[in-house]
Amino acid sequence: MERTSSLAALEVDPDEPAPDLEGRDPADIVAWVAERHRVAFPTGFGVEGCALIDMIARRGLRVELMTLDTGLLFPETRALWRRLELCYGLPIRAVLPERTVEEQAIREGPSLWKRDPDRCCELRKVGPLRRALLGFDAWISGVRRDQTPDRARIAIVEADTRFGLIKVSPLAAWTRERVWDYVRAHDVPTNELYQRGYPSIGCWPCTTAALPGEDPRAGRWRGRAKTECGLHQLAGRR
């Protein structure tokens, strides 16, 4: 209810075309939303997230940075989290699930990610993000259209009817190479795991390295049909 009225207050109709920011520089797109709305950027510290943090810091944009601390992050991801905070002097808030991994194991059984990864993602990512986004008008996502067939339909700005917010994806039109060109040109810190064959990095139980020639996301939920944690599946006008 509250989320629906939030969209209405922003005069965003899920059935109407979003503002046309296609072709604009991603930093300009972030500035566009930050100047108009209370906006959060939940990042998993992928290379796209690191690039966006750099853009936000360089422009001094009012964006609340946060990360979903599932309790199952790689140590390298935690190290990058601290490095980014130090590098840019910006706090990146931890968004926590209601239960620790141990408490979840008692309630749901051990290693829920092996038996029901969708429920595990709901408990440790989607639900916590939904709660964390209360009070915001918009959220920023680092997704790109060339990552998956589903993501190919992402609009730069869309109404996220599930969270009741505006979802902005400034890098939607960028390729992986273009993001990497940006981080190299601006000396942005990135996850050490990229150099060890992990082109896409999530929770450690659900992430493996990718083999040469494999899709960059092949190591996520390997052996399962699952391709998304649920944060990006239902947003917008699809």
Query: Which residues are part of the catalytic machinery?
Result: 229
The SS3 of residue 210 is coil
Distance CA 61, CA 213 (A): 38
Choose the stretch contacting ligand SF4; rule: CB under 6 A; options: 2-10, 114-122, 148-156, 180-188. 114-122
- The verdict on 159 binding ligand SF4 (CB under 6 A) reads no
Q: Does 125 bind ligand SF4 (CB under 6 A)?
A: yes
- The reply on whether position 90 binds ligand SF4 by CB under 6 A is no
18 Rama sector, left if φ>0, alpha if ψ -120 to 50, beta otherwise: beta
Residue 84, classed as helix, strand or coil, is helix
**Closer residue to ligand SF4, CB minimum distance, 125 or 145:** 125
| Contact predicate 53/84, CB 8 Å | yes
Residue nearest ligand SF4 (C-beta atom): 203
Which sign, positive or negative, has the C-alpha torsion 95, 98, 101, 102? Answer: positive
Work out whether 73 is an interface residue with ligand SF4 (CB under 6 A).
no
| Residues 89/54/233/202 CA torsion (nearest 10 deg) | -70
Q: Quick check: 147 binds ligand SF4 (CB under 6 A)?
A: no
Smallest gap from residue 169 Cβ to ligand SF4 (A):
20
Which residues on adjacent β-strands are paired with residue 66?
42, 93
Q: Is the CB of residue 55 less than 8 Å from the CB of residue 47?
A: no
- 229, 232, 235, 236: which one binds ligand SF4 (CB under 6 A): 229
Q: Output the six-digit token pair for 94.
A: 């931890």
> Using CB under 6 A, which of the segments 115-123, 131-139, 177-185, 193-201 binds ligand SF4?
115-123
Q: Which is nearer to ligand SF4, 72 or 218 (CB)?
A: 72
- 113 touches ligand SF4 by CB under 6 A: yes
For strands 93-95 and 165-168, give the pairing.
unpaired
Among 10, 72, 96, 183, contact with ligand SF4 (rule: CB under 6 A) = 72
Which residues of the chain form contacts with ligand SF4 (CB under 6 A)? 70, 72, 113, 117, 120-121, 124-125, 202-203, 205-206, 229
